[in-house]
Amino acid sequence: MQLRVSLLAYFLCCALFFAACSGNSNTKGTLVDGQQSSPPYQDGLDSVRLANLEVAHESFLRALQLEAQGESSLAELFMRHAWEADRNNRFLAFSLVEFMEARGASAEALKLADTAKTLQGNQTSSQYALLARLYSQDMNLDSSKFYYKKSVEASDQNLRAAYEYALLLEVIRDYDELMRIYGIMLPQINYPRSMVDRQLLLLEKAGKDSMAIDLLTSAYDAIQDPQYRVSRTKLLIKQGRYEESLSSVHEMFVANPKDSMALKFQTAALVQMKKIPEALDSLKSFYRRAPKPTFVLHDIALMESDLLKKDSAKVHWNMLKDDAEYGAVANYWLSVYAVEDGDSLTSVKTMEKAYALAPDEYGPALVWRYGLTGRYAKAYPILDSLLNVRSRVDSIAKLTLQKNNADFDEIKKIQRIALRQHADFQSLYGNILLFNAEALGLKNYDSLRADSVQRIRLKANEHFRIALDMGVQDPEMLFSMGANLLALNKVDEAIAIFKQLFQKKPHQAMALNHLGYSLVDLNRNEKEVKWAASLIDSALAIEPSNVAFLDSKGWALYRLGDYEKALQVMEIVETHAVEIEGMTTKDPTLYEHLAAICDALNLNDRALGYYKKILVIVPNHSQAKAHIKALTSSAPVH
């Protein structure tokens, strides 16, 4: 037992037995195996006191002998005789307390310990640790912490007490003190991995990255564990100490030129230092000397994509397109490049491959490709599966909750992410339906309000509304929702949505023009048309040369009765219309506006020419036919 000196030591010191046991003299004595002894009894001691000291000493030795023979109960009995014979002896009192604790009599032991701690004599870390354990068992954690701290800070520092103190600090969650104790212990026990990891976690939570780096440096210097160097390098990068991290990387490469972890650290540091070309060169150099690891090829391709080295990146992405780990991202990038090259077929096929390899990650991108290329029937099943993500995540969360070690914060985080994804997918669904409705409307110009188009738009509005109710207020979604409401003739609802958009993005020129033109075209009342014209002016202030915005301006002037100025603006639009794809070949709106303005100015020949151009684009345009008939017969049109 820690509190008592060894049997051998006491036999060696038999000649000094009175000195070993006496505890009532103030004269400084000698040390016996770390214990402060009392000085030899002096002349004048009465015979009773002398007899008691002899009993104490003999009983103490007998207790040690019995303990060595495994007779713990008898040993405790003799230790009690020793203490009762010399009740002022702090050492004997704590020796008896230790016997009591060993047999589980912690309450009895604590009672005696409370007395023993008041006695004079040498105060040791072992005594403090024993007191701390007993107070802990009695649930007096403040006192337990007090004595553990004294034990650790004593001159004869007690390592076992430090371990026990650390456990107590974990229980009471005093992490600042725990970090201090680990700082004391770790150098003495040669930095075991589990304790280093715990200390690193505590330092991380406390935001003490510099102390964590110092700890890892000391741990690596002490035992040369490469993992400590790896952890230190990672922390150096996290803390922005990139030059130091590169020095550590150099050491790692010296030890192993093909160390892939060192390469990752080097790349990360160089990227953060904005030395992208150097990072790319280091990747290529490593790829040449290493056995062609695919992650290096992936990093090379990704960095080349970031550096707009398109041709080289395409070569490397093609090398990875069938790779099990990086095939999905490779096909994604090949799809992106196909879009840039105007190759819609390849863009869809490569995105389909990306989706096949990683459906949850690339489902939305594939849906968007389908929407842009008119493959709506293929998009809807994927959208339906994406909307099931929320229910899948909820199921996972419920299963996790059933476990005893459920992390409620993590579950809530997963659920929040799932809800946001669900809302985004609702918005995406609405956009694809909107594309579909507009495509059908263009193909069937005379049936813009046909039931099929109306149903699709109404369904799109439902998805937009769900996304909005779930908190999605991205300007892009608000624009789509507002435009769809205008097409559904839900004008006041649309205005409310656009106003939300303008609060978030007041200088969204496209939205300003779209709402302005739509209200001008509806021509519900003069006040609204004037407001709409101001929206168009705001859009033009942002993009003065935008031909579509100028067309809206000309139409607004027409609605407000300023025909001469309207024609001036529209003539500018007509001059530049050929620059806009489809403006003079697929959409009759420009010629509708010009024809109406010329009609209002009695420029009949010009008006007739524009109506004829409308029929080239839309042969069954009923209004154009009626105006042509009226102008050619000189009859007024009502």
Please report the domains of the chain, with CATH numbers, ordered by start residue: 225-291 (1.25.40.10), 292-373 (1.25.40.10), 397-506 (1.25.40)
Neighbours of 408 (CB within 10 A): 10
Average pLDDT over residues 264-280: 90
* Residues in a beta bridge with 559: none
What's the pLDDT score for residue 325? 93
Burial zone of 311 (CB within 10 Å; 0-12 exposed, 13-18 middle, 19+ buried): exposed
The chain-wide mean pLDDT, for the chain, equals 84
What's the pLDDT score for residue 218? 86
Residue 238 has pLDDT above 50, yes or no: yes
What's the pLDDT score for residue 20? 39
Which candidate, 360, 394, 470, 380, places its Cα nearest to that of 428?
A: 380
State which amino acid sits at residue 631. Answer: L
Residue 372 has pLDDT above 70, yes or no: yes
Residues ≥6 apart with Cβ < 8 Å to 197:
none
What are the pLDDT digits (tens) for 297-326?
A: 999 999 999 889 999 999 999 999 999 999
* Residues in a beta bridge with 35: 32
Cα distances (angstroms) measured from residue 336 to each of 173, 353, 598: 52, 13, 46
3-state secondary structure of 35: strand
Residue 617 has pLDDT above 50, yes or no: yes
What are the pLDDT digits (tens) for 522-544?
A: 999 999 999 999 999 999 999 99
Average pLDDT over residues 576-596: 87
> Which tokens is 129 given?
């640790």
What's the pLDDT score for residue 220? 82
What's the pLDDT score for residue 406? 54
> Which tokens is 98 given?
């230790």
Residue 13 has pLDDT above 50, yes or no: no
Residue 21 has pLDDT above 50, yes or no: no
Range of 91-100, 197-206, 345-354 with top mean pLDDT: 345-354
Higher-confidence residue: 92 or 36? 92
What are the pLDDT digits (tens) for 533-578?
A: 999 999 999 999 999 999 999 999 999 999 999 999 999 999 998 8
What's the pLDDT score for residue 152? 84
What are the pLDDT digits (tens) for 27-42?
A: 333 333 334 444 444 4
Question: With pLDDT > 90 as the criterion, what percentage of the chain qualifies?
Answer: 44
Total count of residues recorded for the chain: 638
Average pLDDT over residues 422-431: 93
Burial zone of 284 (CB within 10 Å; 0-12 exposed, 13-18 middle, 19+ buried): middle
- Residue in the block written with tokens 């929702």: 481
What's the pLDDT score for residue 568? 96
What are the pLDDT digits (tens) for 130-173?
A: 998 898 888 989 988 898 888 888 877 777 888 887 888 888 88
What's the pLDDT score for residue 179? 84
Residues ≥6 apart with Cβ < 8 Å to 401:
408, 411
393 confidence band (pLDDT: 50, 70, 90): low
What's the pLDDT score for residue 214? 85
3-state secondary structure of 500: helix
397 confidence band (pLDDT: 50, 70, 90): low
- Residue in the block written with tokens 């500018």: 572
Report CA torsion sign: 290, 291, 294, 297. positive
